[in-house]
Structure 1
Amino acid sequence: MKISVIIPVYNAEKYIFQAVESVLQFEEVYEIILIEDKSPDNALKVCEELAQQHTRIKLFQHTDKENHGASASRNLGIRKATGDYIAFLDADDYYLPNRFHAEKELFKDPKVDGVYGALGVHFYSEKAEEQYYKVFRNPLTTVNKKYGPKEVFPGQLYMLGSFGMFSIDTLTVKRDSLVKKMNPLFKSTLKLHEDTEFLFRLSYYLDLYPGIIDKAVALRGVHEENRITKIGLDKKMPIVSRSILWKEVNEWAQNEKTIPKNIKTHIERMHRSYEIAKASKPKKWIMILKYLILDYKSIRSGLYNINFRNTII
């Protein structure tokens, strides 16, 4: 196997060394692609030192050397990758020694486009654990049992908690399958949940198989500066950001001719439920009454997510 591991780097001076060291342990890793995204700290200097020390490390910045976000950085990494397989890692996370154990066997089957595993949690400090334990009270982010590849896309849409979820950190995909079947790759228009939107589309176009899902193959590093964990504690931001996510998913689904009508309808209703949830109270109740008459299932879809319920109770 020749794996290219793509690591977008922003404000990760304290963590990037550990992330890179966790990847260098694997002989299967052909190259580590660091995309430095105009960090305000000394992350660029650390990346330069790492690239000088290890021939497998390749360092890139965007052409204008400005900040473009995680999506654009991952896309640049995919364009620069020359390995047969691509894996991703956030700069404050790290791989465990079993990260590619399942991949070695599963990718022998030509039908396998991608493999996903389970993600654990590492708190970098007691303060981080105190602040964010409620966000990561479940120590394992994983799909709850082994599903076939055709079940992954509807499982994420319909089964929610009973299906589980997987992380971009635990995903390995064939480069050719990714480049040929995914257009666009990561959407630069999304600043939050860009990986979730990507995984929705990826699981529709590619055949993804479970690897190790009963124990972690990588760890999410949680610290006080985590952007996504701070947002997780904000009562309003998850509703707004998920509304934007489902808007993007809905636009894609309505334009994708091969998606069955019932799935398009479900996605549209999920988008509609978040639109209702984020609306101000006068408008919210007008929308609720409207859809109780025109499409009550939009309300029913909304009642399955806690953010929606909390805004109307």
Structure 2
Amino acid sequence: MKISVIIPVYNAEKYVSQAVESALGLEEVTEIILVEDKSPDHSLQVCRKLASRYDRVKLFQHPDEKNHGASATRNLGIEKSTGDFIAFLDADDYYLSNRFDAERELFRNPEIDGVYGALGVHYYSEKAKEQYYPLFKNSLTTVYQKHDPEDVFPGLLNMRGSFGLFSIDALTVRKSSFKKMKTLFKPNLRLHEDTEFLFRLSYYLDLYPGIIDKAVAMRGVHENNRITKVDKNRTKPGVSRVILWNEVNNWAQNEKAVPENIKLHIERMLRSFEIANVPRLKKWTMIAKYLLTDYQSIRSGLYNINFRYTLVS
């Protein structure tokens, strides 16, 4: 196996060395692609030192040397990669020694497009643990049981009950399989871009479970995690979810092969987050409207945990 590990680097001078060294310790990794995204800290200098020290580490920036976000940065990494397989790693996360144990066996089957595993949690400080433990706890981010590939897409969309989810850090994809997708990561998304990508990836590709009962990589949690921050111009964290589901809905409505029941489910998920993120009076007005026009939409929303939580806020 020849695996290219794509690491987008932004404001990660304290952590990127650990990420790189965790990947270097795995014999399947033939190259590590660092794409530095105009960090305000000293990440570029750290990346340069890593690239000069290790032959397998390659450093790139965007042609204009400006900040383009995680989506465009990962896309550039894929473009520059030379391996037969692609794995991703955030610059503040790291791999464990068993990261590719399942992949070695599963990818012997040429029909397997991708393999996913479980992600653990590591708190870099007590302050970070105090701040984010209610969100991440010490839980695995994983799919709770093994599923056939055709069940992954509806499962991630919350159509299969307690399906769970997997992180991009625990995903490995056959590079040639990306040809099945019209678009890779969408540069217009600055939050939840990996979630949107995984939705579409699981629709177009056959993804199989690898090690899902113990971690193959660790999410590094610190006080400045990008994913836990919300644009200051937004009044509620749920607004970013509306943007995510609106993007997913636009894609589904324009993808003719997506079954109508799935399109309807996606539209209802979007509605539930839209309703949850408007003022209380308008919220109940919208609920009354959908009670008259589409009762099942409201029922779908009411049984969505995020919607229930924000409905009473």
TM-score interval (norm. to shorter): over 0.9
Q: Where does residue 309 of structure 1 map in the other structure?
A: 308
Q: Where does residue 252 of structure 2 map in the other structure?
A: 253
CA drift of 1:138 comes to 4.5
Q: Where does residue 293 of structure 1 map in the other structure?
A: 292
Equivalent-residue separation in structure 2 for 1:158 and 1:30 (angstroms): 36
Equivalent-residue separation in structure 1 for 2:78 and 2:182 (angstroms): 12
Equivalent-residue separation in structure 1 for 2:72 and 2:271 (angstroms): 28
Any residues of structure 2 matched to 1:265-284 within 5 Å, and which? 265-284=264-283
Equivalent-residue separation in structure 2 for 1:206 and 1:290 (angstroms): 38
Moved more, 101-110 or 130-139: 130-139
Equivalent-residue separation in structure 2 for 1:194 and 1:239 (angstroms): 15
The TM-score normalised by the length of structure 2 is 0.96
CA drift of 1:227 comes to 2.2
Q: Is the 8 A contact 1:50 1:57 kept in 2?
A: yes
Equivalent-residue separation in structure 2 for 1:311 and 1:175 (angstroms): 40
Equivalent-residue separation in structure 2 for 1:139 and 1:249 (angstroms): 27
Q: Where does residue 46 of structure 1 map in the other structure?
A: 46
Q: Deviations over 1:46-86 (max 9, x none)?
A: 00000001111110000110000000000000111111000
Equivalent-residue separation in structure 1 for 2:283 and 2:160 (angstroms): 24
The TM-score normalised by the length of structure 1 is 0.96
Q: Deviations over 1:107-135 (max 9, x none)?
A: 00111000000000000011111111001
Amino acid in the other structure paired with 1:293: L
Amino acid in the other structure paired with 2:15: Y
Q: Where does residue 68 of structure 1 map in the other structure?
A: 68
Q: Deviations over 1:249-288 (max 9, x none)?
A: 0000000010111111111111111111112223222211
Structure 2 unaligned residues grouped into runs of 5+: none
CA RMSD of aligned residues (A): 1.5
Q: Where does residue 188 of structure 1 map in the other structure?
A: 187
Q: Is the 8 A contact 1:135 1:229 kept in 2?
A: no
Change in 2 beyond 3 A, CA 1:243/1:69? same
Q: Deviations over 1:184-220 (max 9, x none)?
A: 1001111111000000000000000000000000000
CA drift of 1:238 comes to 3.2
Any residues of structure 2 matched to 1:79-90 within 5 Å, and which? 79-90=79-90
Q: How many matched pairs?
A: 310
Amino acid in the other structure paired with 1:263: I
User: Is residue 116 from structure 1 mapped to residue 119 from structure 2 by the alignment?
Assistant: no
Equivalent-residue separation in structure 2 for 1:161 and 1:299 (angstroms): 18
Change in 2 beyond 3 A, CA 1:236/1:142? farther
Equivalent-residue separation in structure 2 for 1:12 and 1:161 (angstroms): 36
Q: Where does residue 130 of structure 1 map in the other structure?
A: 130
Q: Where does residue 59 of structure 1 map in the other structure?
A: 59
Give 3-state SS (helix, strand or coil) of 2:188's partner: coil
Q: Where does residue 23 of structure 1 map in the other structure?
A: 23
Q: Is the 8 A contact 1:122 1:221 kept in 2?
A: yes
Equivalent-residue separation in structure 2 for 1:121 and 1:158 (angstroms): 23
Give 3-state SS (helix, strand or coil) of 2:120's partner: strand
Q: Where does residue 215 of structure 1 map in the other structure?
A: 214
Q: Which runs of 4+ in 1 moved over 4 A?
A: none
Identical residues among aligned pairs (%): 72
CA drift of 1:294 comes to 0.3
Equivalent-residue separation in structure 2 for 1:311 and 1:89 (angstroms): 32
Change in 2 beyond 3 A, CA 1:159/1:238? farther
CA drift of 1:161 comes to 6.0
Equivalent-residue separation in structure 2 for 1:103 and 1:138 (angstroms): 25
Change in 2 beyond 3 A, CA 1:6/1:198? same
Change in 2 beyond 3 A, CA 1:92/1:206? same
Structure 1 unaligned residues grouped into runs of 5+: none
Equivalent-residue separation in structure 2 for 1:311 and 1:123 (angstroms): 27
Q: Is the 8 A contact 1:113 1:206 kept in 2?
A: yes
Q: Deviations over 1:139-164 (max 9, x none)?
A: 21000000010110011113466100
